[in-house]
Structure 1
Amino acid sequence: MIPRPTPTFQDLYPGFPEPEFEPLAFRRRSLEEMRRRAQTFYEDMAGRRTTRQFSPEPVPVELIELAVQDPDLKRQMREAAEDEEYRTYTQRMPEEWRAALAPLGTDYVKTHLTDAPWVVVLFREKYGLRADGSASKNYYTTESVAIPAGLFIAAVHHAGLTTLTHTPNPMGFLGELLGRPKNEEAMLVMPVGHPAEDACVPRLARKALGDIFQVDRGE
């Protein structure tokens, strides 16, 4: 490695105020406990499935924050989504895309948007807005929403509920319908609730660990 001097904060960020730090709140666990927790979490998450059939059974608000519950608003979302998806399935979808969706059996009927008691919409802030209305660049916005999306999905499943990762195409109507500012872009729609009594999911095989995980030991 090329030897380089250790920079100070002001070397890299001249004129910027230095950030404040506080001690990390972290509980160190024994190897046995870590293995047990990892195995329990794996077994729990291995049973998570995306479902499109939801029960209208209510879910307490404290389990779902920042979500859409208004029935009329959910109806508007469904109507707009179905309108866009209808055109996608009947006019805009290339065969390669259709072949990728075929094993999932999806269509342009989006009952999950009105059946599920809650609908969570994840937005990405494409750029910031200064007090004078001018734009400021935001960095790593896709990564910044992808990480909490995964945590939210895991938390929903861990709480005993189910969700669907729905990506209407296009999604521009969501910002207008929900009154979001122009610098935000909808990334993901997630209905949340209890599964319907007759809910079914595609019979799919999960990828083997070796297909998604690689260990390079430097040997």
Structure 2
Amino acid sequence: MDALLNGSKLLGHWPSILGGLIIGLIIKYFTFLRTKKLRSSKKLPVDGKEQIQGLSNKSSTEYKKNYWKPALAEKPFVPFVPGNDLNPNGARHFYELVRGRRSIRTFNALKKPPISTIENCIRAAGTAPSGAHTEPWTFCVVEDPSIKSAVREIVEHEEYINYTKRMHAQWVADLRPLQTNAVKKYITDAPYLIIILKQTHGTTDDGRKKQHYYNEISTSIATGILLCALQAAGLCSLVTTPLNCGTALRRLLNRPDNEKLLILLAVGYAVKNCEVPDLVRKPLDDIMIKY
């Protein structure tokens, strides 16, 4: 062992190693102090009039409670009005309705549903639950042909790169049976595009940043309700998540930085003799476990 230690090349550099360790510990210590100070300032802000150390009539807990006012307005509680009693047939009818929904890629460009139908579907989506009732979603309905063409140009540019460079070969192979590629003709053919944005945060009436909890999950739930509403209205849709297009689409639509692209939804009617893959969904026993 002594021979090994004496012959080690590392021992010849022990001053540099020791100095590096000391410098690292010093940096870590000052980083710890800075982080602690930042956390303290965020958890317990000082308003300039009253230092927390000098609180005379308040405890620190009471101070926090008074500062962290809810971003939402205080709401009174009202009696809950339940819906109809349990209707097993209603659940079955709903299943029969939504089981027929399929994503299509060939839209009838000449047949356009009334905008009031789209508005009612989005009203339904707006009933979705959300974290702390922040409703962190924006539904941009695009029917202007020039804007749809601009959307298509953005998406096709990025999708070409995705298919040729970014996406794994297995991913491209898995999409082949669905006959998808970088050409997105449905974007300009569909009468409507609904570009769904999640809001990472909002702003309170007094100008403070309002945290939006579970914004992606909440917006995804709202999108699910929207898909069901569109199906109930007799409309067809296609759910897409165009990779690397979020910033360009947000700028095209002149949306703020706190809104991020989640889904691009094409909506309208299918062309005559439209075909879809003959897919089979998993049986109930594969998706539900009873305890």
Q: Scaled by the length of structure 2, what TM-score is found?
A: 0.65
What is the RMSD computed on CA atoms of the aligned residues? 2.3
| Residue 115 (1) aligns with residue 166 (2) | no
Query: How do residues 47-196 of structure 1 correspond to structure 2 at under 5 angstroms?
Result: 47-56=100-109, 57-65=111-119, 66-129=140-203, 135-172=209-246, 173-196=248-271
Q: CA–CA distance in 2 between the matches of 1:104 and 1:84? A: 19
Classify the secondary structure of the residue corresponding to 1:64: helix
Q: Is the 8 A contact 2:112 2:268 kept in 1?
A: yes
- In structure 2, the gaps of 5 or more residues are 1-60, 120-139
Deviation at 1:128, TM superposition (A): 2.5
Q: Which has the larger radius of gyration?
A: 2
- In structure 1, the gaps of 5 or more residues are 1-9
The 1:148/1:91 distance shift into structure 2, 3 A limit, reads same
Deviation at 1:179, TM superposition (A): 0.8
Classify the secondary structure of the residue corresponding to 2:104: coil
User: In structure 2, what residue type is equivalent to 1:38?
Assistant: A
- The C-alpha deviation readout for 1:42-84, integer Å capped at 9, x for no partner, is 1111111110110021110101135111010001001110111
Q: Is the 8 A contact 2:154 2:245 kept in 1?
A: no
Q: CA–CA distance in 1 between the matches of 2:194 and 2:77? A: 32
Deviation at 1:133, TM superposition (A): 7.1
Q: Scaled by the length of structure 1, what TM-score is found?
A: 0.85
Deviation at 1:95, TM superposition (A): 1.6
Deviation at 1:131, TM superposition (A): 6.9
The 1:161/1:136 distance shift into structure 2, 3 A limit, reads same
Q: CA–CA distance in 2 between the matches of 1:198 and 1:176? A: 37
Q: CA–CA distance in 2 between the matches of 1:21 and 1:207? A: 42
Deviation at 1:135, TM superposition (A): 4.5
Deviation at 1:183, TM superposition (A): 0.8
- Greater share of helix residues, 1 or 2? 2
User: In structure 2, what residue type is equivalent to 1:14?
Assistant: K
